[in-house]
Chain A
């Protein structure tokens, strides 16, 4: 506690700036605000402390000066140094959670499909290249980067972290400047020296503080000590090495610091790629093994930030690319699944996820580590490229994203001591468990819960085809409940017919209608059961388009709306409308009307300059339309989604 206080005290120096920085991202303030204010209170008595701190950098200056001589010499070792860096990170990740596993880390190695991850990693890489001279700086800047990133994440507030995080963003520039100056020639260096040293000092101060967090526990540690530690390159080592007089308590302390940071990182709802950001799209495209589809001519302006629909006619092009490209072998099982996504033969969050997991299982079984490569790293790269392939076929669903995330985490945590066979079997079993526990068993639990909500005489309305809802209805029917089902369907997919067919085959009494008639039919409905593609942290239900309309009308008629969703589909992201994030379907699907030949007006729509067809796949249902979310952990209100995210996500990952 003392040490924490001390560390914070150090930070308090720049507290006013913290406020300014914080102002930029008001959204993030909520969570931390409470904590930081409390920490501020704790610090209040210590307020003189900030005054004490400035000397610290002074003390550090000589240390920095010691470092500066190697700096000019540094440009030479650039190439050798940058490679060693990532490994260190990985070590850190393996042994200590400090450098928490971030898929982005591995992105450096392989063209990451996910631009956001890729971006993060590229930043890291750049830093590695630019500032090889001062490891200390690098450290600090790395730390800053990571911390800065962590700022975007859900606050799992830990005082020290977030105060650093706050401080950091305004600091980031300083090391950057320094880095640029580093490689510059000696002539200028004299002149620059003052500046550099200032920057250095700051960097030192920074790392000192970080060090102090830990060091404070053993109050005996001298201030002068931190600088040498900084040399050690990795944050994690810093923590460990710092204390020659190692204390178990201290270790715990360190862990305390570390774990939440990790949590923060892993929860990162990484900013999505905005497809109207040309630079980033170009960047992503360069990185992607497969060239993303070229821009469609007839895109809807409102949705230019989304990946445009890929017509399956490009299938051949895809095939050529993959088969000819030797560098990236897509495993046939994954390839097959990808094509099925592309042709929409496998649809639905669960089905797609299960298919992907199965394919990955095949892939792992066939995997052998190439010579001179580390399995975990090579495998992650491989997974990344496969995921990139899958997302080319069709944008990943959130369920798949979550499954991939957990799988990569598992790979990252593989112990080096395992033999390849062991590692593979553990990965395969992970995939199996995921499918079993998170999907199949979860569905069973959901059915158990949901069935209790159906009573004799009910009229249950559902929209589209959700496999969980189907299970619920058929189970309720099989245990002898007397109820009627209203299936509401919507164009263009008309997947409600699949549900209707299956329910009719079981002998359930059904009413079938289209989404426009939902207000008409709602008067006789007593309950609404809907499925979801995902439930977001603010309670928004992200589901097939039309769900929101059905829920809205049900809400208007005071009919309870129940959403059946497995918790593995929950996501930390928040969303207010259906426009920021969505998936564009095939616009040509709107042209014809199934079973009715007379509607030919839209044929040849793409010849018209002014006509666009928009086929949205998802929409976002506001939380206030939802009465209850039925998960495998029980029935919860939408406000409890973040709680579930926090409480139930932890254990499998830790």
Chain B
């Protein structure tokens, strides 16, 4: 059965890779969701050998993941999701290893209970785990058990709710697979519902008569405003966001929910920012240093906001959190789109003599990198965070091996 399914899987992966390459799937939410779905398929179809079941799973996910990441390096959410899944597998395995030696390290209790309650036991478990799987179950155990294990094996605290699902079946590999698939299902739910988690915080941030400026369109922002609109009345300036002009659509959506909305040109952002109380925007990705990759023009908005000391707030789901540090972000973390979005092909043809190639060079970047010092606050599905705290979130949800 598995063997029969393999060609299907292969086709699905190829299909998704092509879609990514052709930019048919775009946007962090869409790509993240498809990636997770695909990886769940990969996991469920993977035949797991009885020895070293986890490593084979990891290898399979990694090989698919690297193809996906290579397909469109700017959809950072794809990479994030691959790493999340890898992290889930590692955690799952550690749980099982721990269970084998009779310890349930962090199963349903929270981390504190674990640290306080069973230090001795976990040390034993660690020793056992090291002998068999060469994996450290958790950071706490590792710290308490002296550095017998290698530093490379450090793993963050597992998420508490992912492993209680393992059923009482005894087959180790089956248990692993089942646990992983369950956890991936949870991850999927998290991605799908992050809007509502973020928008729950809306009332804490938006007050009566607030004037808010935003650029382009963001789905989470729409939910955020909808939630705030239930209790407060405020007005929104929407910059169009050339060259995609999603601001138009966004403004229409906002006006449809009876929010006082004004569309402005991107160039008027500076002119109006002095009357704005808060800038709230969505992001494409959040880097580990707290900077964001956002639709082009955001840097300008952030600079203007800084000039007038207007808070610059970024709404983001945890799936956009990327463990990479940006280096030369405006070039590496960017993508140049078709010039025709900016200047029609042939519009300048009358004045080009064509003797020395093309003297006109039309630049149409898709993203802007906004450095963390221009950002006041992140509002994520796990609450509000400072840009300086982002690295800690990264450490919590990813395994360091996968960075």
- Chain A contact residues, CB within 8 Å of chain B: 300, 302, 490-492, 497, 500-502, 504-505, 507-521, 523, 545-546, 548-549, 552-553, 556, 577-579, 582, 590, 593, 595-596, 599, 601-602, 605, 608-616, 618-620, 622
Contact pattern, B 284-299, Cβ under 8 Å of A = 1, otherwise 0: 0000000000001101
Kindly state the separation between the CA atoms of A457 and B119 in the bound complex, as whole angstroms: 67
The main secondary structure of chain B at its interface with chain A is: mixed
Partner of A578, one of B251, B270, B364: B270
Q: Are B263 and A514 in contact (CB under 8 A)?
A: no
Q: Does B274 contact A (CB under 8 A)?
A: yes
Closest residue to A518 on the B side, CB-wise? B300
- Say whether B300 contacts A549, CB under 8 Å: yes
**Which residues of B253-305 are within 8 A (CB) of A?**
254-256, 258-272, 274-275, 296-297, 299-300, 303-304
Contacting residues, chain A, for B267 (C-beta < 8 A): 490-491, 515, 545-546, 549, 619
How far is it, in angstroms, between the C-alpha of A556 and the C-alpha of B214 when the chains are bound? 21
Q: How far is the CA of A191 from the CA of B94 in the complex (A)?
A: 105
Q: Report the stretch among B31-39, B128-136, B318-326, B340-348 that lies at the interface.
A: B340-348
| Complex: A528 Cα to B331 Cα, angstroms | 22
Q: Which residue of A has the minimal Cβ distance to B339? A: A512
Nearest-Cβ distance from residue B316 to partner chain A, whole angstroms: 20
Identify 12 residue pairs between A and B in the complex whose beta-carbon atoms are under 8 Å apart, listed by A's number. Answer: A507-B353, A511-B360, A511-B362, A512-B363, A516-B300, A516-B368, A517-B363, A520-B334, A552-B303, A601-B249, A608-B256, A609-B255
Set of chain A residues within 8 Å of B240, measured between Cβ atoms: 491, 590
With A504-B359, A548-B271, A614-B263 already in contact, the answer to whether A519 and B348 are too (CB < 8 A) is: no
Q: Is the CB of B268 within 8 A of A619?
A: yes
Query: Which A residues are CB-close (under 8 A) to B327?
Result: none
Q: Give Cα A593 to B342, complex, Å.
A: 10
- Chain B contacts of A497 at CB under 8 A? 343, 347-348
Partner of A613, one of B263, B269, B304: B263
The reply to whether A513 and B342 contact each other, CB–CB distance below 8 Å, is yes
CB distance from A193 to the nearest CB of B (A): 55
Q: Which of chain A's residues have a CB closer than 8 A to the CB of B21? A: none
Interface of A, secondary structure class, is mixed
Whether A519 contacts B299 by the Cβ 8 Å rule is: yes
Q: Cβ of A596 and Cβ of B241 under 8 Å apart? A: no
Q: Which residues of B contact A612 (CB under 8 A)?
A: 260-263
The answer for the CA separation of A546 and B297 in the assembled complex, in Å, is 12
A492:B265 contact, CB within 8 angstroms: yes
Q: A98: shortest Cβ distance to chain B, in Å? A: 42
Residue B164 at the A interface, CB < 8 A? no
B311 interface hit (Cβ, 8 Å): no
Please indicate the chain A residues that have their CB under 8 angstroms from the CB of B169 in the complex.
none
**B274 contacts A577, C-beta separation under 8 Å:** yes
**Cβ contact within 8 Å between A611 and B265:** no
What CA separation (Å) do A515 and B365 show in the bound complex? 11
Do A611 and B245 touch (CB < 8 A)?
no
Contacts of A517 in B (CB 8 A): 296-297, 363-365
In the complex the two chains form, is B359's CB within 8 Å of A556's CB? no
* Cβ distance B23 to chain A, nearest Cβ, rounded Å: 16
B243 touches A514 (CB 8 A): yes
The answer to whether A514 and B242 have CB atoms under 8 Å apart is yes
Size of B's binding interface in residues, CB under 8 A = 57
Q: How far is the CB of B185 from chain A (nearest CB, A)?
A: 36
Q: Which of B249, B262, B341 contacts A614 (CB 8 A)?
A: B262
B248 within 8 A of A: yes
B145 at the interface (CB under 8 A from A): no
**Which residues of A sit under 8 angstroms from B263, Cβ to Cβ?**
590, 602, 605, 611-614
Question: Inside 8 A of B251's CB, which chain A residues have their CB?
Answer: 601-602, 611
Tell me the smallest distance from the CB of A177 to a CB of chain B, in Å. Answer: 42
Q: How far is the CA of A501 from the CA of B343 in the complex (A)?
A: 12
Residues of chain B lying within 8 A (CB to CB) of residue A511: 360-363
Chain B residue numbers with a CB within 8 Å of A608 are 252, 255-256
Could you tell me if B363 and A513 are in contact, using CB atoms closer than 8 angstroms? yes
Question: What is the chain A residue whose CB lies nearest that of B328?
Answer: A523
- Contact: B300 with A553, CB < 8 Å? yes
Cβ–Cβ contact A519 & B347, under 8 A: no
**Cβ–Cβ contact A508 & B359, under 8 A:** yes
Given contacts A596-B341, A616-B265, contact A515 B242 (CB under 8 A): yes
Check B271–A509 contact: CB distance below 8 A. no
Residues in A with CB closer than 8 Å to B344 are: 595
Q: In the bound complex, what is the Cα–Cα distance between A359 and B241 (angstroms)?
A: 41
Could you tell me the distance between the alpha carbons of A556 and B352 in the complex, rounded to whole angstroms?
A: 34
Shortest distance in angstroms between B219's beta carbon and chain A's nearest beta carbon? 16
Cα separation A542 to B248 with both chains bound (whole Å): 28
Given contacts A512-B342, A602-B263, contact A491 B359 (CB under 8 A): no
Knowing A578-B271, A611-B261 are in contact, say whether A556-B361 is a contact too (CB < 8 A).
no
Please name all residues of chain B whose beta carbon is closer than 8 Å to the beta carbon of A492 when the two chains form the complex: 265
By a CB distance below 8 angstroms, the chain A residues around B332 are none
Q: How far is the CB of B174 from chain A (nearest CB, A)?
A: 51
Chain B residues contacting A546 (CB-CB under 8 Å) are 265-268
- Beta-carbon contacts under 8 Å, B171-216 to A: none
A618 to chain B: which residues have CB within 8 Å?
271
**In the complex, A648→B262 CA distance in Å?**
43
For the complex, give the distance between the alpha carbons of A511 and B343 in Å.
11
Among A502, A512, A556, A593, which residue has its beta carbon within 8 angstroms of that of B303?
Answer: A556
Q: Which residue of B lies closest to A523 (CB)?
A: B330
What are the nearest 6 A-B pairs in CB distance?
Answer: A546-B267, A516-B297, A578-B271, A611-B255, A490-B267, A619-B271
Give the residue of B254, B264, B343, B359 whose beta carbon is less than 8 angstroms from that of A509. B359
* Contacting pair A512 B361 (CB below 8 A): yes
Determine if B351 is an interface residue (Cβ-Cβ < 8 Å).
yes
CB contacts (< 8 Å) of A491 on chain B: these are 240, 242, 265-267
Q: Is B403 an interface residue (CB 8 A)?
A: no
Complex Cα spacing A109 to B361, Å: 58
Tell yes or no: B307 within 8 A of A by CB.
Answer: yes
One of B243, B264, B365 near A520 (C-beta < 8 A):
B365
Additional A-B contact list (9), CB under 8 Å, known A512-B363, A578-B274: A492-B265, A504-B360, A511-B362, A552-B304, A579-B272, A595-B343, A608-B252, A613-B262, A619-B271
Interface centre among A505, A519, A545, A608 (most CB of B within 10 A): A519
Complex CA distance for A280 and B258, rounded to whole angstroms: 33
Q: Give the docked Cα–Cα distance between A518 and B303 (Å).
A: 12
CA distance A553 to B365 in the complex (A): 16
The chain B residue with its CB closest to the CB of A298 is B262
Residue of A nearest to B342 (CB): A514
- In the complex, the answer to whether A501 meets B351 with C-beta atoms within 8 Å is yes
A582 to B271, CA, bound (A): 10
A552 B347 Cβ-Cβ under 8 A: no
Contacts of A578 in B (CB 8 A): 268, 270-272, 274
Q: How far is the CB of A343 from chain B (nearest CB, A)?
A: 21
Q: Which residues of B contact A519 (CB under 8 A)?
A: 299-300, 303, 330, 368
Which B residues are in CB contact (< 8 Å) with A513? 342, 362-364
Give bound CA distance, A182 to B313, whole Å.
65
Assembled-state Cα–Cα distance A545/B268 (Å): 6
- Evaluate contact between B270 and A552: CB separation under 8 angstroms: yes
CB-nearest residue of chain A to B250:
A601
B248 touches A602 (CB 8 A): yes
Q: How far is the CB of A294 from chain B (nearest CB, A)?
A: 21
Report yes or no: A602 in contact with B268, Cβ–Cβ below 8 A: no
Which of B260, B268, B341, B342 has the most CB atoms of chain A within a 10 A radius of its CB?
B268
**Residues of A contacting B275 in the complex (Cβ-Cβ under 8 angstroms):** 302, 577, 579
In the complex the two chains form, what is the Cα distance from A599 to B243 in whole Å? 11
The answer to whether B265 and A590 touch across the interface, beta carbons within 8 angstroms, is: yes
Complex-state Cα separation, A521 to B268, whole angstroms = 19
Whether A521 contacts B266 by the Cβ 8 Å rule is: no
**Docked pose: A601 CA to B244 CA in angstroms:** 12
Min Cβ gap B167→A in Å is 50
Closest chain B residue to A516, Cβ basis: B297
- Most chain B CB atoms below 10 A, which of A302, A508, A520, A615: A520
Q: How far is the CB of A472 from chain B (nearest CB, A)?
A: 19
Give the shortest distance, in Å, between B275 (CB) and chain A (any CB). Answer: 6
Return the CB mask of B351-376 against A: 1 if under 8 Å, else 0: 11100000111111100100000000
